[in-house]
Amino acid sequence: MRSKSFVCLAIATLFLALPAAGQLQENAAGPLTIPEDFMPPGNLYDNDVSDGITSLATQDSDGTFFARSADDFTIDNAAQGCESGMFEITEVRVQATQQNAAPQAWGFDFYDGDATSPLPTNAAVPIATLAETGQVNLGPFGATTSLFEVAFAGAGTILNGDTIYWVAPFGTDGAANAGGFNNFFASSLGAAGTVANSQIIAPDAGVPVWTAVDAVIGPPALAFSFAIDGFCLAPETPTIAIPTLNSWGLLLLIGLLAAVSMFFLARTRRV
């Protein structure tokens, strides 16, 4: 277990959200005690648990409060030793915050993208959406929010190794979001050796295209908390075509065998 210090919180509060985007951010109200890592760690990718500092809006809504906060990842094919280069996703776990007054189900999106942002750059268009299988309340986060760990079933999603994808969980209950942002993706320290470069899109909050989070709420750049589990798919076995006879071919074969039989019968009679 680790206790997040007030020092981290003080650093975070130096970079308050810009006025137009203030509602996009939910900061921790004090130091948190949270697990050291995802248990177990994601076996395909692990971007670490919440750093206990902040979280960014990510939700659906039937009102004006739509947003997605996303982070990228790549499954290292060589490290996984996967001959096929293809992986089936079995589970995704995230840490995220939501308003205590409106707990709700979550969804999870995978996006195509490049090293800069999800694609297309002007819309949230997922390549796959997963459903929640459960959520655990890890305790208070902000003044009116709590931190949750949420799990999602992979639903047979297939991803390629050495390929950049982006991920974003989101609150699914539009009715609960009618008065403002309710759901937020928790920031993290990120996977070892990676660069924080998360993105956000929130058209009705002044962010109409995918934009670097630090360009919206101020630095530093953020990573988000998620872990991905799955397995390498076996290479496809080559199939060998075995010739088969259609009805005409079968008739021709019968005719040929009949002719050969008559030939030998005729020779036998002459002898």
Which residues are registered as beta bridge partners of 147? Answer: 97, 139
- Position 223: which residue type? A
pLDDT for res 239: 56
The model's pTM: 0.80
pLDDT tens column, 158-215:
999 999 999 999 999 878 877 789 999 999 999 999 999 999 999 989 999 999 999 9
Q: Where are the beta strands (DSSP E) in the chain?
A: 2-3, 25-27, 33-34, 45-46, 50-57, 68-73, 86-99, 106-112, 128-140, 145-153, 158-160, 165-171, 183-188, 199-202, 207-212, 223-224, 226-232
Tokens representing 35?
């697990």
pLDDT tens column, 55-95:
999 999 876 789 999 999 999 999 999 999 999 999 999 99
pLDDT tens column, 134-161:
999 999 999 999 999 999 999 999 999 9
